[in-house]
Amino acid sequence: MVLPYSNGIQSLLGKNMLGKKRKPTNGDAPGKKRVKKEASIKLVPDNQRIFKDLTFYYVPPPEKSPVRRMRITKAREHGATWTKDFIPSITHIIAEKGLTYKEVMRFLNFDNLPQGVFLVTDDYPTLCLDSHFLLDPTQKPYAICQDKEAPGEETATQNIESQDWNSSLNIKSTSISGKSHGINPAKSPLRRPESSQGSRLREGYEDDPVHFQRLSTGDNKVSVWVESHEASTDPGDINGAPPSAWPGDELEEMIKVARSVEDIPLDKEEDGQEDDRPPSRDDTEESGSEEDVRRRSSKGKPKAKCESAGKASLNQDNFSCMTGGTGLSDESNPNYRTIEVLSKMADYYDRVKDVWRPRAYRRAIGMLRKQNIKICHYDQARLIFGIGHRLAEKIQEIALTNRLRRYENAMLDPSDRALQIFTNIYAVGVNQGLKWVQQGYKSLEDLKAHVPLTENQRIGIEHYDDFLTRIPREEVTALGKIVRDTSASVDHEVEVIIGGSYRRGAPTSGDIDCLLTKSGTSSSNDLMPYLHKLVDRLTDSGFLVAALAVPSETGSKWHGACVLPESPNPIWRRIDFLLVPETELGAALIYFTGDDIFNRSIRLLASKKGWRLNQRGLYKDVLRGHQRVKYTEGSLIEGADENKIFNHLGVPWRPPEQRICN
């Protein structure tokens, strides 16, 4: 049924947004009805259809706007259904920019937005396409809210920032909508209290190479990092900014740090190519992005830039990879409970696709592990490098009450519980999980009954508990022995190395990463015939029970599931085979050993030296252009020897068990 326009919206459609009367066109003349040719729709590949199963309704209709019609075509090419009638299957109402909630409701002749339908500006589909995934439609930049004429107003942000300790405990219910973290950093008031010593504490990451001094705070001996007097005092320099310019929220702190190193390029692992690292349950971050810092688009003419021009000053000692760590967080740690709760909050923000907060939380967790006393109070927490106003409040709440209300409220949200279940399914990411939640599904049974699943998703549901169960170290060793014995029967020159958390000495692992390498090889293609024979023999013996991702002719990884054949009740375990030529073994060992923070730190260090480190090697003289388009591969410094890569970067050798920084 087509709903009639209200008088107010009819007048709006007859005028432009400035109130000027619309000029008549030839199509308005009597007897000259112009029929527009429907644009042809060329659907993108299925894995790129981010709007699949979504139905868009546009307010007002886009007949008079070629730009809006072009946007609709792009949305349809990516899976969206466009309807001109208001039908029950509508999932999103796309309103022209400038319309308020009340105006849209007048147009629809509704009092309130129908349940299960999202109201967003016409920027939303474009931003989703730019991001290559479905964004949360309730975020402030594009959501049109009932209680605000224009979401993201400065006053709302100021109210959030002005809460004191007592009021901050009265936390509103948190949901996957992201409303609690849709702060507009451009409008957020930035403030920073003075430290009791009269020195300004540096807010940011330990890996930001600025001059700092490590101090103790009297008898408590709390480790803090205070900015030294050698830091720049240039008003335009972040390091010399006045205290009032420092942010008080961990999100804003992370944005500030990112801006301070925005010209430092960090590669994706394959510079836009396929990443050979399989998804691992041991990763500390899911992240949507693998770059710590993205370069901003240049407004001028694109210019090539050579990465070999390193930074003039670099305080390398501040990088996490220089000290490493054991990552131990058992109950002997005085801050064990705080670390435990903050880790759960970081996982929650990962699930809701928050980019900044998980990193801020995990950096704070790493600093808390280094403290030799329990951090109980706000002032103590604020003295620790990298912990800002909001995180300090949370640390105090956990220490004094043994709980965090924000986390408890988040866990009470049924939508988040469903999202947790869905994202734990193999081959299901956050985007797909959010889509199912928005469609009203709540359990695995709902999915099996109503959703067309891929073969891998079906296996992930059938063996849901198996894939979630951690693998004891003894079982990883036994499974690895079967692979090694079978490998020797295929080619005794091939070496099998188990990476990931197992190589770091962890008591349990989420999955098994087997690096397969052979002397004299310079390409993964050299090992492809061996891989086919190995997989065939392990399958015939009953060890491999499923192939989840098989490499192409030029691939280098095989993902699947295995069991212990002699076990009476075999549990399916995730296992990956990664082909690594001898010339890349050292870089691959660094990358596939982890942990994630150690890897990010050592790659950032390489970037600040003007080099590039990925799983294939350490490179120099990489020439890049606009938006980091790579013009040259650069010159290989080292790839085969793990120890030599450490030496070239000036990093002390850290055995795998000392690379646990999270």
How many angstroms separate the CA atoms of 290 and 473, rounded? 28
Every domain range in the chain assigned CATH 3.30.460.10 = 471-580
> What single-letter amino acid sits at 165?
W
How many angstroms separate the CA atoms of 614 and 599, rounded? 9
Query: Within a 10 A sphere around the Cβ of 316, how many other Cβ atoms?
Result: 15
Q: In three state form, how does the secondary structure of 204-226 look?
A: CCCCCCCCEEEECCHHHCCCEEE
Collapse the DSSP code of 582 into the 3-class scheme (helix H, G, I; strand E, B; otherwise coil) and give the result.
helix
Q: pLDDT band at residue 134, thresholds of 50, 70 and 90?
A: confident
So what's the pLDDT on residue 552?
A: 79
Cβ pair 104, 9 in contact under 8 A: no
Q: Which fold has domain 7-151?
A: Rossmann fold (3.40.50)
Q: Which residues contact 536 (CB under 8 A, 6 or more apart)?
A: none
Q: Of the listed 256, 305, 353, 394, which one is catalytic?
A: 394
How many angstroms separate the CA atoms of 433 and 375, rounded? 37
Cβ pair 463, 482 in contact under 8 A: no
Classify 500 in phi/psi space as left (phi over 0), alpha (psi -120 to 50) or beta: left
Q: Write down the mean pLDDT value for the chain.
A: 74
Distance of CA 345 to the CA centre of its chain: 14
Spatial CA neighbour of 544 closest among 564, 529, 530: 564
How many angstroms separate the CA atoms of 408 and 530, rounded? 51
Strands 617-620 and 557-562: unpaired
Residue that wins the pLDDT comparison between 492 and 69: 492
How many angstroms separate the CA atoms of 252 and 360, rounded? 10
Model confidence at 278: pLDDT above 50: no
How many angstroms separate the CA atoms of 54 and 398, rounded? 41
Residues in the chain: 662
574 forms bridges with which residues in the sheet?
561
Q: Give the containing element (helix H, strand E) for 344.
A: helix 336-351
CATH for 587-660 is 3.30.210.10
Between 109-113, 293-297, 301-305, 600-604, the lowest mean confidence (pLDDT) is in: 293-297
So what's the pLDDT on residue 402?
A: 93
Q: In three state form, how does the secondary structure of 45-112 look?
A: CHHHCCCCCCEEEEECCCCCCHHHHHHHHHHHHCCCEECCCCCCCCCEEEECCCCCHHHHHHHHCCCC
Query: Within a 10 A sphere around the Cβ of 68, how many other Cβ atoms?
Result: 17
Cβ pair 653, 646 in contact under 8 A: yes
Average confidence (pLDDT) over 550-573: 89
Burial class (CB in 10 A: 0-12, 13-18, 19+), 430: buried
Model confidence at 290: pLDDT above 70: no
Every domain range in the chain assigned CATH 3.40.50.10190 = 7-151
Q: Which fold has domain 471-580?
A: Beta Polymerase; domain 2 (3.30.460)
How many angstroms separate the CA atoms of 301 and 627, rounded? 11
Collapse the DSSP code of 553 into the 3-class scheme (helix H, G, I; strand E, B; otherwise coil) and give the result.
coil
Q: pLDDT band at residue 624, thresholds of 50, 70 and 90?
A: low
Between 149-163, 591-605, 639-653, the lowest mean confidence (pLDDT) is in: 149-163
Collapse the DSSP code of 616 into the 3-class scheme (helix H, G, I; strand E, B; otherwise coil) and give the result.
coil
Between 343-357, 445-459, 493-507, the lowest mean confidence (pLDDT) is in: 343-357
Collapse the DSSP code of 286 into the 3-class scheme (helix H, G, I; strand E, B; otherwise coil) and give the result.
coil
Model confidence at 267: pLDDT above 50: no
So what's the pLDDT on residue 555?
A: 81
Q: pLDDT band at residue 331, thresholds of 50, 70 and 90?
A: low
Q: What is the pLDDT of residues 197-238, one digit of tens each?
A: 333 333 333 333 333 333 333 444 444 433 333 333 333 333
How many angstroms separate the CA atoms of 360 and 366, rounded? 10
Residue that wins the pLDDT comparison between 278 and 548: 548
Q: pLDDT band at residue 18, thresholds of 50, 70 and 90?
A: very low
Collapse the DSSP code of 118 into the 3-class scheme (helix H, G, I; strand E, B; otherwise coil) and give the result.
strand
Q: What is the pLDDT of residues 469-483, one digit of tens each?
A: 999 999 999 999 999
Give me 147's structure tokens: 């209680």
Cβ pair 137, 125 in contact under 8 A: no
So what's the pLDDT on residue 541?
A: 95
Q: Assess whether 620 carries a catalytic annotation.
A: no
Collapse the DSSP code of 412 into the 3-class scheme (helix H, G, I; strand E, B; otherwise coil) and give the result.
helix
Q: What is the pLDDT of residues 157-206, one digit of tens each?
A: 333 333 333 333 333 333 433 433 333 433 333 333 333 333 333 333 33
Q: What percent of the chain has pLDDT over 90?
A: 40
Query: Within a 10 A sphere around the Cβ of 469, how many other Cβ atoms?
Result: 14
Q: Which residues contact 589 (CB under 8 A, 6 or more apart)?
A: 497, 499, 515, 642
Question: Long-range contacts: 395-401, Cβ < 8 Å, 24+?
Answer: 395/338, 395/342, 395/364, 395/368, 396/165, 397/169, 398/337, 398/338, 398/341, 398/342, 399/337, 399/338, 399/374, 399/375, 400/376
So what's the pLDDT on residue 229?
A: 34
Give me 553's structure tokens: 């002719």
Q: For the chain, first and last CA: distance in Å?
A: 56
Q: What is the dihedral of CA 445, 449, 455, 458, to 10 degrees?
A: 10
Q: Which residues contact 648 (CB under 8 A, 6 or more apart)?
A: 618, 637, 638
How many angstroms separate the CA atoms of 439 and 425, rounded? 17
Between 29-43, 48-62, 404-418, 635-649, the lowest mean confidence (pLDDT) is in: 29-43
CATH for 414-467 is 1.10.150.20
So what's the pLDDT on residue 417?
A: 86
Q: What is the pTM assigned to this prediction?
A: 0.56
So what's the pLDDT on residue 238?
A: 33
So what's the pLDDT on residue 411?
A: 82
How many angstroms separate the CA atoms of 537 and 213, rounded? 58
Between 66-70, 169-173, 499-503, 524-528, the lowest mean confidence (pLDDT) is in: 169-173
Model confidence at 388: pLDDT above 50: yes
Residue that wins the pLDDT comparison between 39 and 509: 509
Average confidence (pLDDT) over 279-297: 34
Average confidence (pLDDT) over 535-543: 96
Taking each helix axis as running N to C, give the angle between helix 101-108 and helix 7-14, from 0 to 180 degrees, rounded to the nearest 10.
110
Average confidence (pLDDT) over 550-572: 89
Every domain range in the chain assigned CATH 3.30.210.10 = 587-660
Average confidence (pLDDT) over 331-354: 86
Average confidence (pLDDT) over 76-85: 91
How many angstroms separate the CA atoms of 45 and 206, rounded? 42
Q: pLDDT band at residue 147, thresholds of 50, 70 and 90?
A: low
So what's the pLDDT on residue 67?
A: 82
Q: pLDDT band at residue 547, thresholds of 50, 70 and 90?
A: very high
Model confidence at 19: pLDDT above 50: no
> What single-letter amino acid sits at 70?
M
Give me 501's structure tokens: 């958390």
So what's the pLDDT on residue 662?
A: 63
Model confidence at 139: pLDDT above 60: yes
Model confidence at 353: pLDDT above 80: no
